[in-house]
Structure 1
Amino acid sequence: MRILKLVCSFILLLTFETYAQHQSAIPQDIEKTIDSLFNPWKQPNSPGVSFAIIKDGKVISKKNYGLSDIENKTPITSQTRFNLGQSSAHYTAYALLKLVTEGKLSLGDDVRKHIKELQSIKQVITVKDLLYGASGIYDYQALKSICGWDYTENFSQKDILRLVALQKKLAFNPGTDYSEADINFALLAELIGNVSGKSFKNYMEEDIFKPIGMTNTFIRTNLTTMHQNVAHSYRSEDDKTILNNSGNTVLGINNMYSSIDDLILWEYHINSASGNDQKIVQQMNGIIKLNDGRTNSTSSGELTLGQLYGHKERGLFSTYILGSGSGHDSSIFKFPTQNYTAIALSNNGDGYNGYLGVIAAHNILEEHFTEPETTNFNTLKTKSLSKKQLQKFEGHYWDQLGELSRDIKVINDTLRYVRTNGNTNALIPLENNKFQMKVQFDDKIYIEFPEDETDVMEFQYLGAEPIRFEKYILKAYNTQEISNLFGGVYINHEYNIMYSAMADNNKLKLSNVKNGDISFTPITSILFSGDSWFLRSIEFTKDKNQKINGFYVKNNAIRNLWFEKVVVN
């Protein structure tokens, strides 16, 4: 039996190797067009990209440009390893569902019995809640910064568990809403380790990657441990490319390292799966739904259990996942019906590299698209509205969870959507209260002002659940008013964080020993917008005597972190 298993394994690995190495030809003109996409990556002495396109089970394009190590002039190859960042969640989800399929875990299990640090939370949090992003646990990214962790400091799984153990109140009841919180998958990594009886690292490498032949893929748990053939990470600063030394050892949602050849093997594995593996893949392709049936539908698309977002690109259904980690960026972009997958890995720290796969698809799959690359707004059936009718929509609008302020203005008889940086888009009237935003490409963005709700604007992108903006009257305070109303010391008792508030040139300033000063501009009489990414807004509350008694940090990742004003006797 052992010999038979070894023979089968050898045949399987041989098949994988053939798949990874075989490259099918594509028309020369298309190849030339695809190659031109990489012109920005062909600069000498610069970071680069590793890229592959898989079509109908064959690698039709595989390219490597740039350097993995600028100092030593080491070129990127198809074996160069990159941090997949948030794309790691795709593989973590597979591992979790493997344990579920094998009967070692249930999606309905209460995770508090597996992770002791969650036991201070009263509500039941299921495995499904973590997988769906519906747990209500505060995201560690913003929380650690509010608590004063320097971004250059290593942040580990142990640090995450320390933060989780301090949380007493959830952002919402589990299963009733979604939040953009990486904490969910960091906790799933702990869960997988605890349930499998191995560390998360060992389980992923021994039980997931090795059987597939992904011997070049690993989980990084120590920043000081040296690994061969890992691309150095870089970032641009003052028109110079410099080494990026920041990093963390958070798992499940980060720190999975892989190469383009190994990810090709993965795609083959999930596309030719049988037995239990096929059951796992089928689950991963399912759309996430809340207890009330709502899907996790955002501007990115509808989220699947495999953590890929699904949406339509020029009329064709596509799925994708993006990741950034320690200066590395990854993207996997698919047209499932057309058997097309594009993978891009890079180390320049510039973020989104998925456009390489999308634009390549526009050439390779041109005959399949049902919609043009750009919307012809001249063919829209529009509604004629007078300037007076348009002016009733003018005003300032605030999205609380997204912490965004937008203006709606009539400029030259055209209603326009105005961003804080001054960029505007024309709004084309389709109905009395519904408009389509004029944008490039094929993106369909609708702005609606519900008839049954005054002072509300809804922003809808690609069929996603509308984002709700509420109209507000801009408030201005002078320095003395801010000092009298909001000055003082505020404390959060859960995490023992303290901020001092004072007036500064008609603005509010919050000061903390570790974070320094954060400046806030008044939006409404109690709402302030901040200049820090982790404290972009705070909302004050009043007691029965109309005195300020504290403020909330409210956003998609945290929602209700309360800071109480310290009363000085």
Structure 2
Amino acid sequence: MKYIMALIALTLTLNTFAQNQSTLPKKLEKKVDKIFEDGGWKMPNTPGISFAILQDGKVAYKKSFGASDIENNVPITSKTRFNLARTSAYFTSYAILKLITENKTTLDEDVRKHIKELNNFSHKVSIRDLLNGSSGIYDFYVLMSINGWNPTDNFSQKDVLTLVSFQKQAAFVPGTDYSLSGTNFVLLAELISKISGKSYKQYMEENIFTPIGMKDTFVRTKANRIYNNVAKAYRTIDKEIVANDSKNEILGANNIFSSIEDMILWEKHLSTSEGQHKKIIQLMDTKAQLDNGRINNTNYGNLTLGQLYGHKERGVFSTYIVGSSGGHDSSIFKFPNQKYVAIALSNDGNGYNGYTGVIAAHRILETHFTEPETVDFSKIQTKKLSINKLQKFEGQYWDPLGELSREIKVINDTLRYVRNSNNASALIPLSENRFQMKVQYDDKIYILFPKDKPDAMIFEYAGAEQIPFEKYIPKVFSDDELANNFNGYYINKECNITFSVKTRDKALILTNSKVGDIKYSPIKSNVFLGDKWFMQSIEFKKNQSGKVIGFYVKNNAIRNLWFERVNLNSVLKKASM
């Protein structure tokens, strides 16, 4: 048996070398190779990466590094399949837009017509709203976590649709704001099935994968089923590599598996533009915008209906999409005008492999960039400000939707943007109230203190929409004050989730049997910051008598999820029913 396993491993290794290819000049090839060497991808018998670069529609570089299965020392090849995670939405958007160009539906059709779980939803939601990220429907990943699900738990499409059916009120009127929500693509997968009369899996295989020739690509509907040539998912905990596979069965937003060979075919397919396909590509490239015409201009870039974000990288327009699920990560970075595409698929659970495609572009497209790799702060014209003027900006600032608390502080005669005690960035004064953040790379980040709003701070990143922060004085409570004001039981009636709130060491502890403890420290008199990503901040509400009657969970993915304060007897009675 050992001999057979060794022979298999040797054969796969030889195949890997045979499948690796590069038409780049040797000097450039070595520079790209070094990206993976420096990133630790070439370490023996460790999780790895499959990577490709297309230039002018042709493969310029295609190599795989590391192990698909470290227990059996099976190498990654160009045929190894990975979960594309959120990059699955790239295909889902293509599929629904294909149905639209075939006149089987429209961008403005009300989704509630097809999906019964939305029958009680308070507003019309269009397909356009789902693609734009402007539906006002809560993100299922956050809802699942609040319900006590772990990322590695087995949960299904049906579970997500059940959660969707609980939401009656939109987070905002659809079409009037943006909110990141994976639920949009679960609903799009359902729509594809309802409109086509086929399952999502069948439709994708018959209308996209097979016609393009993507033989290694499939939709995973059963998490426990064993599929051939799928990379095992890993992550590193305390320097130990452990299995980290996601067991969810979510469709539309996740669970399309593919290889680097097939993703090359996909990108080649997208580069053609004839007949009906040309109409699909035009829709894919259309910028997402609200009913009032406002473009979705986020820190990530401008979102398109095809789910790629567009922004300028060192002065050159680029687009990208990234995904992460369990230990599988995917990314596609493009420089459309230079006809450059970089695709990365990996299984090491680091969460972001897209830098490989960007750095490779810096090497290969070196002469195309109009801005340097790093900002030369010595060439920036600065404004000399006294320590007294700098100290006027000092204080704590709060971003409610981003759930961020940041400190502005003078350290060693320099104003700094403080994330924590070990992470602070210098702010270079450009004027009396505008600063540029000193960063290591080419990012241009500005901090503005509006003259007409002395208690505000504005965060600007690379021309994206401004993020407002509000200045606050941290609130300190005694244990008695916390207990008297906030202790008790709180329930979200739609999802039937109950948390108890108690006091410990000048902090609030929210707990239930599924989620465990979440520790909250006061930010303001009614706002508390927690230590769990899915409920990172809560905002308490009081009645006219000053008594706390409940709290909201507020963030970009969940807006105003209400937990009402109730007495213990009513909770126990409901639990026994």
TM bin, normalised by shorter chain, reads over 0.9
User: Are 1:23 and 1:58, in contact at CA under 8 Å, matched by a contact in 2?
Assistant: no
Residue 59 of structure 2 aligns to a residue whose secondary structure is strand
Q: CA deviation at 1:180?
A: 1.2
Between the aligned partners of 1:402 and 1:189, the Cα distance in structure 2 is 28
Give the structure 2 partner of residue 6 of structure 1: none
CA contact (8 A) 1:50 1:346 kept: yes
Instruction: Give the Cα–Cα distance (whole angstroms) in 2 for the partners of residues 33 and 568 of structure 1.
Output: 65
Partner of 1:559: 559
Q: Distance in 1 between matches of 2:172 and 2:421?
A: 32
Offset at 1:542?
A: 0.6
Which residue pairs with 2:263 in the alignment?
A: 263
Q: Which runs of 5+ in 1 are unaligned?
A: 1-20
Displacement of 1:421: 4.9
Q: Confirm or deny: 8 A CA contact 1:83 1:329 kept in the other structure.
A: yes
* Residue aligned with 1:124, SS: coil
Alignment of 1:17-416 (within 5 A): 25-39=23-37, 40-416=40-416
Once residues 561 and 290 of structure 2 are traced to their aligned partners in structure 1, the CA distance between those partners, rounded to angstroms, is 23
CA–CA distance in structure 1, aligned partners of residues 165 and 272 of structure 2 = 42
Aligned mates of 2:543, 2:105 — CA distance in 1: 47
Residue 10 of structure 2 corresponds to none
Is the 2:152–2:244 Cα contact (8 Å) retained in structure 1?
no
* d(CA) in 2 for partners of 1:313, 1:408: 28
The range that moved more, 336-345 or 444-453, is 444-453
Aligned length: 549
Aligned pair in 2 of structure 1 residues 404, 202: CA closer, same or farther (>3 Å)? same
Contact map agreement 2:20 2:62 (CA 8 A) in 1: no
Shift of 1:98: 0.2
SS of 2:195's equivalent? helix
| Structure 1 equivalent of residue 575 of structure 2 | none
What is the deviation of 1:88?
0.8
Say if 1:282 and 1:22 are closer, same or farther in 2 by CA, change over 3 A. Answer: farther
Residue 534 of structure 1 and its aligned partner are, at CA, apart by 1.2
Cα deviations across residues 458-510 of structure 1 (Å, max 9, x unaligned)?
11111110111111110011111110110111111111111111111111111
User: Any idea what the Cα deviations from partners look like across 1:232-273, whole Å, max 9, x if unmatched?
Assistant: 111101211111243201111110000001010011111013
Q: How far is the alpha carbon of 1:170 from its aligned partner?
A: 1.2
1:318 CA drift (Å): 0.6
RMSD: 1.3
Whole-angstrom distance in 2 between the partners of 1:518 and 1:141:
18
Deviates more, 1:81-90 or 1:150-159: 150-159
Name the counterpart of 1:10: none
* Residues 64-118 of structure 1 deviation map (CA, whole Å, 9 limit, x = unaligned): 1111111222111111100000011111111010000000010100000110100
1:14 corresponds in structure 2 to none
Q: Distance between the aligned counterparts of 1:467 and 1:53, measured in 2?
A: 35
Contact 1:24/1:58 (8 A) holds in 2 = no
State the partner residue of 1:488.
Answer: 488
**Does residue 534 of structure 2 align to residue 527 of structure 1?**
no
CA contact (8 A) 2:22 2:62 kept: no
| Alignment correspondent of 2:501 | 501
TM-score, with normalisation over the residues of structure 2? Answer: 0.93
Q: Which stretches in structure 2 are left out of the alignment for 5+ residues?
A: 1-18, 570-577
Distance 1:537 1:420 in 2: 17
Q: Per-residue deviation at 1:326?
A: 2.4
Residue 12 of structure 2 corresponds to: none
Structure 1 runs of 4+ with >4 Å offset: 21-24
Residue identity matched to 2:506 = N
How far residue 154 of structure 1 moved from its aligned partner, in angstroms, is: 0.8
Deviations along 1:359-388, whole A, 9 cap, x unmatched?
A: 111111011111111111111122222222
Amino acid at match of 1:31: E
CA distance in 2, matches of 1:22, 1:229: 17
- Which has the larger displacement, 314-323 or 381-390? 381-390
Identity %: 60
How far apart are 1:152 and its partner, in Å? 3.2
Match runs of 1:1-16 below 5 Å: none
Q: In 2 relative to 1, CA 568–363 (structure 1 residues): closer, same or farther, beyond 3 Å?
A: closer
Letter of the 1:25 partner, please give it.
T
* Residues 405 and 420, structure 1, Cα contact 8 Å, conserved in 2: no
Report the CA distance between 1:37 and its aligned residue.
1.2
